[in-house]
Amino acid sequence: MRGKKRDIGGIIKIGEFPLRWSVKSEPIWKSTDGDIGLRLSVVRHDETLTRHGTPKAWRELILQFPFEKPKHASRFPERPDVTPEKLTAAISIAMEAGWEPHSRGRAMELILEEGDI
């Protein structure tokens, strides 16, 4: 049986913004929408509270890494190795595509291709 999603994440600084990232979902093999790669959630790391005492909400970025086919006959997809360099490159691509860490609003989802990172 496969375990739960990895409870990993951290803070990475790109430009002037510290960003908090975490695993949103593990790779999914043959869902109704096709194979889905590892998805990471990225949001501006900010300890500022609103006037109601809740943390400020920033626009979320959802990065979907390419789905990796299993090397061996398995019912589980491979877990991609996300390095700080790959994560920085992916976030930079998202910023070029219009994601602004200091903005608010609906989440932006970016599906990365093999050649992107």
Question: pTM of the prediction?
Answer: 0.79
All residues at 6 or more sequence positions from 65 whose CB lies less than 8 Å from its CB, including other chains: 37, 38, 39, 40, 80, 82, 86, 90, 112, 117
pLDDT of residue 78: 59
pLDDT 10s digits, 45-61: 987 778 888 877 889 99
Mapped onto helix, strand or coil, the DSSP state of residue 66 is coil
Quote the mean pLDDT of the chain.
83
- Residue 42's pLDDT band, with cuts at 50, 70 and 90, is very high
Any residues with CB less than 8 A from the CB of 98 and at least 6 apart, and which? 108
Question: In this structure, are residues 5 and 23 in contact, taking their beta carbons and an 8 Å threshold?
Answer: yes
Over residues 20-32, the pLDDT tens digits come to 999 998 887 766 6
Q: What pLDDT is recorded for position 1?
A: 41
